[in-house]
Amino acid sequence: MDLTNIKGIGDKLAKKIIDSFGGEDEFKTAIQNYEVDRIAKIDGVSQFKAIEIINAALGNPREEFLKTGRAVQIYDDIIARILAYSNTKYGKNRILLIGPTKDGTKIQQKIDFVMNAKKTVLKLPINEISSLLKKVNPSLRDKPKYDPARAILVESREDYRRLMDMDLNRYANIITAEELENLDDYEFVIYIFSTGQIELDNSYNVAMVTSDSVEYEIIPETVLSYFHTNYDLLCNILKIKNILGRESVIPEIIEILDSLQSSAVDESIFDASVEDAKKKADAKLEESIKKVDLKGDEVLALMNEGMPVKIQSIFDDVIKEAKREIKEITGCSFDPFIQKYPIEIDYQELERVKRQHAAEQHLNAFDKKVKAASRLSGLKESTEAEIQEILHFDYEFALGCFAHYYNLNPPNIGEKFNFKGGIHLNLALENEEDIQKIDYSLKIPENVALLTGANSGGKTTLLETLAQISIMTQMGLPVCADEATVKLVDEVYFFSKQRSLDAGAFESFLNTFMPVVITDTTKLALLDELEAITELEAAVKIIASFIDLLKDSDSYAVIVTHMAREIMKYTEVRVDGIEAKGLDENYNLIVDRTPKINYLAKSTPELILKMIYEKSDGKLKEIYGQMLEKF
């Protein structure tokens, strides 16, 4: 693919991006997997640019669809609302990549996906799932740990180079027979043999591995470190899958990893058990010897021959008991004591036993690790698939929550804009019963309408609701309405209220405004009180011309205006009205926010003036009263 077509990417950066993936095929795979973070890690590529790259590659032409700043803001607001329900980086990136399309088949597939997600969410403990998903942050690239107490011994330079090419030096020192001085320099040695030419003198800290062994049979951590790094992640994924009722290979993985933890070598138990046994032995000796009654010939024997039989017997019993206690704790039978009082510890013997035991443990642990690595290597692909499955579920979960909480419903694709029970997203989460849902419709030949009526009556809200329904439909989302039929368009324009436009700003506005009527694309154009673009008469003529050009096209437009009467002098157009019925008991406006079709609604200055009059007093109320008389 040609990345240089994307704004801000030249030949140099495009080549850098492709090369960082190892080629175009690998890069295309990353695009299909929505790997925003991986692309964004490339120097010179921001996350926004990474999303642009994937959007361009997948054909999500947001810029071609949303033609004004306000339309983009409405789209961004929709995305932000969905993001609020996402919990993982992957889910958030997938949401950021939801773009508009005019492909009806794709739109329907996406809407069906979201509606199924909504059904799924309704059956789940949402808060618990959300909490677990927040902990799903994979560390797929684990960092190998170098162990200086371990060495790999090879017979030849050829084996040495092969192991270096396998990067096994990241885990342990690789040495040749010529470099070997003393095996005791290492706690554990892995001997890669083919001829067995190196004499090891029955060393107990050496594991024998054939030279044709695979990587994990030499250093099992090449497989195990991935699973150890992601242990907590896998536990959380398993909890989620259990809630979802889905099968998983993770229980077997966790059982294997837990079994490796139990085989860890702990030399401190030797020191502690020997010290404790010595203290107990000294106390027993002291107590026992006090009870010994030596006869004269026994004293003479003590002077001439050494330890009397009675005392020797006590020492034998006490040390035998001490050795038994040590074996119960360490599992090893050995005598670390020198027969004196107080008893002395033979630290040289203790260290020998510790080294021997550690070596045996290392050998046992190595054997268990190799077997575990052999099994786990066959499960890694399934594990990564399950991680990806739950990451994708977060995307599904976020969309389902959005559809659930906003009570979204699937639109129909048709040749008109029509919705019943529509509500602005800002109001959808409100629980107030008095929030009024609205109905509205645009269809050929009445594809352009003026929207008139009450100040604060909801005209702008209606425009934004229509824009939301249109944009959400083409994003492949259900919409915030009880029912909706939506015409698919090529472009959405939303022109917001302008306080005033001087000559320069007016020219700029026309340059943006005119493509709405001169291009052949199908459009939805929404104009919100543009009277301030210039003086009144000019504004009326511009809007009337705009209406004439759009009426005979496949495009649709709604124009909010207070100049309906003046515009109708220059063109024939449908006029809809939002009517203010009066004031309630608290002097607040009573408004029917669903527009009446073909109805020129009155504005509300008189009602607003009456509301202020009723809430005023004294001289001020008298003045407002005089104003009301003129109405």
- Average the pLDDT over each of 106-110, 210-214, 315-319, 569-573 and give the range with the smallest value: 315-319
Residue 280 host element (H or E): helix 268-290
Q: Give the tens place of pLDDT for each residue, 447-488.
A: 999 998 877 668 999 999 999 999 999 999 999 999 999 999
> How far is Cα 350 from Cα 336, in angstroms, rounded to an integer?
6
CATH number assigned to the domain covering 412-630: 3.40.50.300
| Whole-number pLDDT of residue 15 | 83
Average pLDDT over residues 587-592: 70
Identify the band that residue 254 occupies on the pLDDT scale cut at 50, 70 and 90: very high
| Whole-number pLDDT of residue 491 | 95
Higher pLDDT, 22 or 459: 459
Structural contact between residues 224 and 260, judged by C-beta atoms closer than 8 angstroms: yes
Residue 151 host element (H or E): strand 150-154
Q: Give the tens place of pLDDT for each residue, 114-149.
A: 999 999 999 999 999 999 999 998 765 666 688 888
Sign of torsion over alpha carbons 615, 621, 627, 631: positive
| Whole-number pLDDT of residue 58 | 76
Residue with the two structure tokens 């003036």:
609
The CATH architecture of the domain made up of 1-57 is Orthogonal Bundle (1.10)
> How far is Cα 331 from Cα 270, in angstroms, rounded to an integer?
10
* Cα 490 from chain centroid (whole Å): 32
Q: Give the Å distances, CA to CA, from 169 to 7, 147, 186, 191.
A: 44, 10, 15, 14
Written as six digits, the tokens of 417 are 């804009």
DSSP class per residue in 369-387: HHHHHHHHHTTHHHHHHHH
Q: Give the tens place of pLDDT for each residue, 214-236.
A: 999 999 999 999 999 999 999 99
Strand ranges (E), 471-588: 483-487, 491-495, 523-528, 556-560, 574-583
Q: Give the tens place of pLDDT for each residue, 392-433.
A: 999 999 999 999 999 999 999 999 999 999 999 999 988 767
Q: Give the tens place of pLDDT for each residue, 185-195.
A: 788 889 888 77
| Average predicted confidence (pLDDT) for the chain | 85
Q: Give the tens place of pLDDT for each residue, 336-357.
A: 888 777 888 888 888 878 777 7
| Whole-number pLDDT of residue 141 | 61
Whether the predicted model's global pTM rises above the 0.85 cut: no
Question: Is 80 exceeded by the pLDDT of residue 505?
Answer: no
Same fold for the domain at 1-57 and the one at 412-630? no
Domain ranges of the chain: 1-57, 150-229, 268-359, 412-630
Identify the band that residue 59 occupies on the pLDDT scale cut at 50, 70 and 90: confident
Q: Give the tens place of pLDDT for each residue, 260-286.
A: 875 555 677 888 888 888 888 788 877
Identify the band that residue 304 occupies on the pLDDT scale cut at 50, 70 and 90: very low
Q: Give the tens place of pLDDT for each residue, 77-87.
A: 999 999 999 99
- Average the pLDDT over each of 99-103, 370-374, 512-516, 589-593 and give the range with the smallest value: 589-593
